[in-house]
Amino acid sequence: MFPIRIALALLLAASPVAPALAGPQGKDDGGQASGNSKKAASPSKPDEDVDTEHLFGFTEGTDAGEKGQQEVVFDSVSRIGKRRSGPGPSHYRAFDARLGYQFDPIDRLSIELSAFGTLHRVRTIADLDDKAFGTFDGVSVDVKYQFLKGSAEQPVGFALEVRPRFSRILPLDGRGADIFDIETLAQVDVQIVPNKLWYGSNVSFEPAVGRQRGSGEGYRSSTLVWSNVLVGEVADKTYLGPELRYLRGYDGAFLNRLESEAVTLGPALHHRFTEKVWVTLAYAGQIWGRDTDPAFARRALGLGQFERHAVRLKLGMEF
């Protein structure tokens, strides 16, 4: 297993915002506020709060909004690159898109309804059939509650989120199936420097069960993910920093048999165009991994369950 201490050291060493730990010269950081309203901070308005919900890349922030708030989100993940199975042209590209509507019936509680679509292009990839298609890929309901709000005086935020989902397509090979999964996330974020520098972390467990169409073959899998990110304000309403994730993929719904593990590293960028419109962009590339399949025991990276590269793009509007 990739040493966790080394992974955290990489995260801190790669951060372009580490100098922010010292705080801005000539200013008193102690008077700045943090928190959880749907606002973004700027240097000219240090008293405004920063919404951490979408501040990070693949990691989710703890903020859940206030009663009556609503939001529309377009969220996409492009997954690129797997192990080739032979000579000739080879490629693996999967594009997963989600359109979600979120509302907050009470303070600290958010509910999001989403519909999914997917595109797959696979050619000459180990253990996968060649295919190219696009289709509707199910629906989900996300429920999130923020137990602890961060602030300048109390910088730690904590939330739990549950994401039950029905899917129509197997995520790796693109076969038709009826799949039910339920992802559970524990979310933490910390204001290291109020309204300037944040650390975020998620632990996610996602079991999935179902049956493939046609063959009727059963499907069982589970994934465990630990993600960490450090972002800081690098310009007005713009936040940037490194994101490090450790992923484990299993055969079986309850972490039964390890198939792949991987560590990914890449930048996460968030920008507020206005108080209500924002974008988040993140890249994750494998820097270490392995497969437990004896056929690939000496091959680099964990490509049985994960990809070489992943890019996430989120666009949102609050109202």
Q: Residue 270: pLDDT above 80?
A: yes
What average pLDDT is seen over the chain?
Answer: 88
pLDDT for residue 34 is more than 80: no
In this predicted structure, the answer to whether residue 214 has a pLDDT above a threshold of 70 is yes
Q: Is the pLDDT of residue 251 over 70?
A: yes
Predicted confidence band of residue 298 (pLDDT cuts 50, 70, 90): confident
Q: What percent of the chain has pLDDT over 90?
A: 79
pLDDT category, 107, cuts 50, 70, 90?
Answer: very high
Instruction: Say how far apart CA 212 and CA 129 lie, in whole Å.
Output: 15
Question: pLDDT tens, 159-211?
Answer: 999 999 999 999 998 999 999 999 999 999 999 999 899 999 999 999 999 99
Single-letter amino acid code for the residue at 247: L
Query: What are the tens digits of pLDDT across the range 84-102?
Result: 998 889 999 999 999 999 9
pLDDT of residue 48: 64
Q: What is the pLDDT of residue 133?
A: 96
Question: Residue 1 pLDDT > 70, yes or no?
Answer: no
Average pLDDT over residues 100-114: 97
Q: Model confidence at 24, in pLDDT bands (50, 70, 90)?
A: very low
Indicate whether 138 pLDDT > 90: yes
Q: Output the pLDDT for position 25.
A: 41
List pLDDT tens digits, range 54-84. Answer: 999 999 999 998 999 999 999 999 999 999 9
CA–CA separation, 94 and 132 (whole Å): 10
